[in-house]
Amino acid sequence: MSAADHHHAETAEHEDLPVAARVRRLEERVIAAGLTTDENLDAFIGEFLRRASPVNGARLVARAWTDPGFRERLLADGNAAVAELGLSPGDPAREGYRLQVVANTEGVHNVIVCTLCSCYPLSLLGPSPSWYKSHAYRARTVREPRAVLAEFGLTLPAEVEIAVWDSSSEARYMVLPRRPSGTGDLTGDELVALVTREGLIGTAAV
């Protein structure tokens, strides 16, 4: 594939980039005018899209923590695992993307970014936070992930490898965090409550 063809393919995968950029510029102008804040916008969108929730992703994680067979299926075929669990608002395949779930281990920590726009598994993680859509996060995470994570308060040992996964309109990612120690007696709902949106993106540990 030529450089021109590659650029065209990337552009086709991110057809919503101009719209996303215009929306973000509008958000920044409204914020600069003192009419709202990023936090208020996130809260409003969260209520508007209440069926699209990180609770959905957290349910996948809790099930994977307690069911080794489901964990294997989730890592092998995220779309099928979502459909198996019957999560609302539905199967990512219906939204036109392939879900890949990447598991944190003792030696590897995963983090998600979309460098060209803000592709994101909305139905499983809820509305994307403002920082995920920011140019600073998108540009820096691939270059200096350890520094970016430290700014989020997540300082990892030097021996832990950081894997950065770049989403597209066709393939989107979710992190499967490591199960915290001392949670063996917790119920499924209690495990779900431990998992945050940031944990599913990889900017926080559980």
Residues acting as catalytic residues: 114, 117-119
The mean pLDDT value for 81-94 works out to 70
pLDDT score of 52: 55
* CATH class of the 3-201 domain in this structure: alpha beta
The mean pLDDT value for 80-99 works out to 74
Q: Considering only residues 106 and 97, tell me which one the structure prediction assigns the higher pLDDT.
A: 106
How is the chain split into domains, by residue range? 3-201
* The model's pTM: 0.74
What is the three-class DSSP state of 111? Answer: strand
Task: Name the pLDDT band for 26 (thresholds 50, 70, 90).
Answer: confident
> According to DSSP H, which parts of the chain are helical?
3-13, 17-32, 38-48, 54-66, 68-76, 78-85, 122-125, 130-133, 135-140, 145-151, 188-194, 197-201
pLDDT of 139 over the 90 cut:
yes
What pLDDT, in 10s, does the model give residues 53-78? 788 999 999 999 999 999 999 999 99
Bridge partners of residue 99, in order along the sequence: 172
Which two structure tokens, joined as six digits, stand for 24? 């973000």
